[in-house]
Amino acid sequence: MTDTRPPAVDRALLDALDRAFAKHAGTDARIDAKELQAALGLRGEYLARRVLARFDRDGDGSISRDEFLAGVRAVVFGSVTERLRFAFDLHDHDGDGSVTREEVARMVAVTLAESGIVPRAANVAETLTDAVLAHADVNRDGRVTFAEFESALRRRPELLARMTRSEALWIAPSEHLLARLDARPSPWERLRRALRFLRNRWLPALAFALWGAAHVALLARALVDASPNPSDLFMRLGRGTGVCLDLDGALILLPMMRGLLTRLRAVWIGRALPLDEAVDFHHVAGHTMAALALVHAASFTVAHAWGHLSSPVTAWLLGSLRGVTGVALLVTFAVMWGFALPVIRRTRRFELFYVTHLLYGLWFALVIVHAPTMLLWAGVPLVAWAIERRRRARRRGLSTIAVAAQALRSGVTRLDLKRPPGFTFSPGDYVYLRVPSVAKHEWHPFTISSAPEREALTVHARVLGNWSGALRARVERHEVEGDPTPLEVTVDGPYGSPTAHLFDAEYAVLIGAGIGVTPFASVLESLVLRARAGHGAKLRKGHFVWLNRDAYSFEWFADLLAQLEREDRGGLLDLHLYMTDGRAGASSLGLELARDLAHDAGAPDLVTGLRTRTNLGAPDWDSLLAGIAAQHAPARVEVFFCGPAGLASTLRRVCARLGLTFRRERF
């Protein structure tokens, strides 16, 4: 590890830090202990006061702008010695220039509590403290000097790197300070990244380009040879947008034909089509239709008003079949579109989205009455959709019961269902479930988290809305009251997902965020069972990355992970576990050093009890994925992800830069 000097503070960086300071400071333009505690996301005030003391150079009990800028330059952009000095001073409570056993023990205990780690054995803090002293206290005088501290940490540069990232994230999480920690790419590197992105995304890009070109062509055809008369121009614009609406109305059904997509994934042509982007296309087409509908209605309204000055627009809108159906179409689509926005769909008001989206049948009926030419465009898709719905209705007759139900920690409910007769599925498939005792008419999608080789059909449901909350309450009452009545469940599926491509990959990275681990739980268990049975797989090496906010969430699949560690003697899978709410900053450097030492000595992980060490804080995706790509170069590495949209966007960009295939699990 070599020392690095702080970069020049250019205007862009200074502006970013000014915005960060304004965000953390109060109206008095100073950061006090309470404000710093909130910025750091700390449970207690002790660590906030320790950090404040390091920033507060004049000792007035708060941090000014100049003190903030100086402190950031030292802790994030400073030399190795400066950053280690910052961490050391946090541990040196009395400021005498050395850290005693009591000071190490205090900081270890505090950071354990701040990270939400509940020790699995007694006297864990004391044991970890002894490990730090045994490693760092070279002269065995019972205290660690800065020179000893620096010597111990310089041998573990990855700890300092994690500390620096953690401090940068709390200082300015939205200002991309982390990008300043890496070298800026050269123009040639930017070009290579662009080429890698196109190579990875050329098929979806081509599909969207053709779709956009079709709209341009239809509008151009409608507007060509238009007269200068405004009425004629707007009339032609209305007709052109109407034809575009016919096209999108025909196409918007296709991504939602889950049965068709599942069958396509199983054949060669499905691998050549951008099926993984089907949900994205449905969303884009929906937003486009909303815009086109407004332009379409406005164009005809203006054209009529311009050409019929003596006739009120309301008489035309409400006095003709086309006008009345047009108004009804606008209202119907506005309701469907508004309640499909993420602010509704991804919250506890999901049922509003579900119910209002059933208006699609009314919309198609109205649009056919409004413009019968719609059948020329959407006739075949509508027939295909009707056939799919008919098949789905028959499949939804698969009634079963929950042979076991359990309310797990962190708001997750586990259901073990009796597999319906003839029900077969592949790892990563998902199903729609209806629980009549919770809601008679609602169906909700869940990835199957058990392997096909198991007899039970297992799903894990995270409480995200009223339905999943009611399901958990039903299971909790069952557990408390000991009600022997089985929980009746109706199954619709299975349906394929992007995870199906995993068994065609040689090298794969599986990334699950929170309950997004469920498709990979099925895959991992299947791989273990196949290996135990002597069945080979094309996959030569897999890297499983699982992120959770707290330690309790790892309990959802703790037995599976332990089984993987026991039975994967051939090194088929590497586990990478991250507890994102865990502290990895300067205050936890002593704890992290102790955990590293314990792991090297073969002790079980403090968070999960596994052999695999759990990392505290968020991953450095560029570093992690670049290391995996380099490990398997020049072979192609495919990344599979299931989790929130924000993290998906980050991973997509990283994979594009590194030339990795990215696939996201979507419903």
Q: What is the pLDDT of residues 91-115, one digit of tens each?
A: 888 888 888 889 888 888 888 888 8
pLDDT band for position 241 (cuts 50, 70, 90): very high
How far apart CA 589 and CA 574 sit, in angstroms, is: 25
Query: What's residue 179's pLDDT?
Result: 58
251, 381 contact by CB (below 8 A): yes
How far apart CA 206 and CA 212 sit, in angstroms, is: 10
- Selection from 123, 98, 109, 25 nearest residue 67 by Cα: 25
The mean per-residue pLDDT over the stretch 399-417 comes to: 87
pLDDT band for position 618 (cuts 50, 70, 90): confident
Q: What is the pLDDT of residues 248-298, one digit of tens each?
A: 999 998 888 877 777 777 666 666 677 777 788 888 999 999 999 999 999
- Going along the chain from its start, the domains and CATH numbers come out as 11-181 (1.10.238.10), 215-393 (no CATH), 396-496 (2.40.30.10), 499-581+617-664 (3.40.50.80)
pLDDT band for position 242 (cuts 50, 70, 90): very high
Lowest mean pLDDT among 20-29, 267-276, 416-425, 453-462: 267-276
Model confidence, pTM: 0.76
What mean pLDDT value characterizes the chain? 82
How far apart CA 529 and CA 526 sit, in angstroms, is: 5
643, 512 contact by CB (below 8 A): yes
What proportions of the chain, in percent to the nearest 5, are helix, strand and coil? 60, 15, 30
Q: What is the dihedral of CA 28, 33, 38, 40, to 10 degrees?
A: 120
Query: What's residue 623's pLDDT?
Result: 87
Q: Are strands 661-664 and 637-642 parallel, antiparallel or unpaired?
A: parallel
Strongest mean pLDDT among 158-167, 310-319, 416-425:
416-425
Query: What's residue 315's pLDDT?
Result: 66
Query: What's residue 389's pLDDT?
Result: 81
How far apart CA 236 and CA 300 sit, in angstroms, is: 9
Q: What is the pLDDT of residues 331-379, one digit of tens each?
A: 999 999 988 887 777 666 677 887 888 899 899 999 999 988 888 898 8
pLDDT band for position 192 (cuts 50, 70, 90): low
Q: What is the pLDDT of residues 527-568, one digit of tens each?
A: 777 767 666 667 788 899 999 988 888 888 888 888 888 877
Lowest mean pLDDT among 334-338, 431-435, 593-597: 593-597
pLDDT band for position 246 (cuts 50, 70, 90): very high
Other C-beta atoms lying within 10 Å of the C-beta of residue 274: 16
Report the helix count and the strand count for the chain, using DSSP H and E. 26, 14
Give residue 192's region: left, alpha or beta (phi > 0; psi -120 to 50). alpha
How far apart CA 478 and CA 470 sit, in angstroms, is: 12
Lowest mean pLDDT among 34-38, 389-393, 435-439: 389-393
**Which residues in 481-549 belong to E strands, given as ranges?**
487-495, 507-513, 541-548
Query: What's residue 395's pLDDT?
Result: 64
Query: What's residue 307's pLDDT?
Result: 64
Query: What's residue 367's pLDDT?
Result: 92
- Residues 302-327, buried b or exposed e (16+ Cβ, 10 A)? bbbeeeeeeeeeeebbeeeeebebbe
